[in-house]
Structure 1
Amino acid sequence: MIRNEYLRFMQVIKDKDAPAGVQKIANIILEHLQEILPLGTAQGRRIQKIIALAQTLWQTTPDKISITVNENNETPNKIVRLKNMSVGPFRGFSKTENFDLDSLLVLIYGPNGTGKSSFCEALEYGLLGSVEEAESKRFTNQENYLKNAFIGRFEPPLITASCENGEAKLLSSNEELFRFSFVEKNRIDNFSRIAAHAPSKQTALISTLFGLDSFNGFVKGFSSEISERHIDLTGKKSLELQDKRKALDVHYKTIQEAHQQLDCLVESETELANQFGQGTSFSNMIVSLGTSSKPGLIKNLEDDLQKPLPRITNLTEKKLTNSINTVGLTIRSINIKNKELIKVSSELSFKQLYSAISSLQGDISDYCPACKTPFAQVTCNPFELAENELAKLAHLSKLELERDELATKLSDAIIAVYDILEIATTEYQNYSGENPLSQYKVSSKSSLDSVWWDQLQAKKNGELLGIQHLYIQVQALEERDIQTKIGIQEREQKQKKLTELRELEKEANKLKTSRELYEITIKKSEKSINDFEQENKKLIEEVEAEAAQVEINNQVSNSYRYLVHALNEYKEELPSRLVADLGDIVINLYNSFNRNDAPRDLLAGIKLPLTSGQQIEISFKNAPEKYYNALHILSEGHIRCIGLAILLAKNIKEHSPFLIFDDPVNAIDDDHRESIRKTLFEDDFFASKQIILTCHGEEFFKDIQNLLGVEKTKKSQCLTFLPQLDERHIRVDFNCQPRNYILAAQSHLENLEIREALSKSRQALETLTKGKVWSYVNKYGDGNLAIKMRSAKSPIELRQLTDQLVTKLKKPAFSNDQKDLVLQPMRALAGINGNSREWRYLNKGTHEESDRAEFDRSTVSIIVESLSQLDDALT
Structure 2
Amino acid sequence: MRIDKLTLKNFRGYKETQKFEIGGEHALISGGNGAGKSSALEAIEFILTGKIDRLHGSGTQGIRAKEHLPHRDASPRDVQASVGFQTGNDIKVTASRRFTDQTVDINPTSPPAEFNDVKRLVEHGLHKLTRSDMIELVVSTPTDRGSLIDELLNLEGVDNRRKQLRRLRNQHYISNIKRIQRSIEEQEELLRETLEISEVEDSKLRDAVNRARATLGGDAIDSLGDWESLDFRRDLAGPEAQEISAFQREDVKNQLRRQGKWFDQTETDLISELEELETARRELAAQEARVNTDVLSVLERGQGVIDNETDACPLCGTNWDSEELIAVVERRQQQFEEIADQRQSLHSTGESVLSTIQSYLSRSEVLLAVLGGEIDVGEDESLRAYMNALGEIQKVVEMIRQEESQEVPDLRELTGELPSERASRASEQLRSKVEDQPAKSEMERAWEVLSTAESRLSQIAKLQSELEVKQGAKKVCTAARDELVQARTEVLEDRYSSVESTFKKYYESTNPDEADVNVQMEQTNAGVKFRIGFFDDELHPPHAMHSEGHQDMMGICLFLALSKELSEHQDRFVLLDDVVMSIDGDHREEIAKLFQGTISDEFQFIITTHDEIWEEQLRRLGVIPLENQYRVDWSRENGTVVRN
Q: Do the two structures share a fold, i.e. TM-score over 0.5? A: no
TM-score relative to the length of structure 2: 0.45
TM-score relative to the length of structure 1: 0.34
